[in-house]
Amino acid sequence: MPLRCETLYTWDRPRLSFEPIERSLLPVTERALELAMTAAQAAADKKAQDIVVIDVADQLYITDAFVIASATNERQVMAIVDAVEEALLNLPEKAKPARREGERQGRWVLLDYVDIVIHIQHAEEREFYSLDRLWKDCPTIPFVDRDMVDSSSGVA
């Protein structure tokens, strides 16, 4: 997938000159994109709601993308978390979370895979904390549930 690039300049203090750097307009790495789409699909397979993938690479240096999904109850939150972890472990280049938060309560579970951070939230927490609104200035990465594509192509 070709990406357009723009030229930016950094200040090189020792030589007191500007050096051009190539930077993608879609800075998410291929690995982060693969992890995000796999996680989003795993969440969709467990009936997660309002799945959003946000490109935060321009705003944060610690990660490239957020995957945010909602569930209607704590049990579904945990089922989605389990499905996401399993799907990312089954990739050819396995991924394990570097950090996991919120599992005990089951209302908002955060999985940190370094390249991406996954937020699985109970619908009430999603509405209250409104991460989507907080990161509204960041571009979203389109995600389409493969089951929706399959069902719409089968309709005559």
For 65, phi then psi, to 5°, come to -150, 155
**What is this structure's pTM?**
0.79
Instruction: For residue 108, give every residue at least 6 positions away whose Cβ sits within 8 Å of its Cβ, in sequence order, or none.
Output: 77, 102, 119, 120, 121, 122, 125, 129
CA distances from 90 to 38, 77, 85, 94 (A): 10, 20, 9, 6
Closest CA to 100 of 112, 84, 89, 88: 112
Q: Tokens in use for 148?
A: 């929706």
pLDDT at position 15 is 42
The pLDDT tens digits along the chain (156 residues) read 333 333 344 444 444 444 444 444 557 899 999 999 999 999 999 999 999 999 999 898 899 999 999 999 999 999 999 999 999 999 999 999 999 999 888 999 999 999 999 999 999 999 999 999 999 999 999 999 988 876 666 554
State the CATH class of domain 30-142: alpha beta
Output the CA torsion sign for 125, 43, 97, 105. Answer: positive
Q: Which amino acid is at 76?
A: Q
What are the domain boundaries of the chain? 30-142
Cα(100)–Cα(91) distance, rounded to whole angstroms? Answer: 19
Q: Are 53 and 63 in contact (CB under 8 A)?
A: no
pLDDT at position 128 is 96
Closest CA to 65 of 24, 29, 21: 29
pLDDT at position 148 is 83
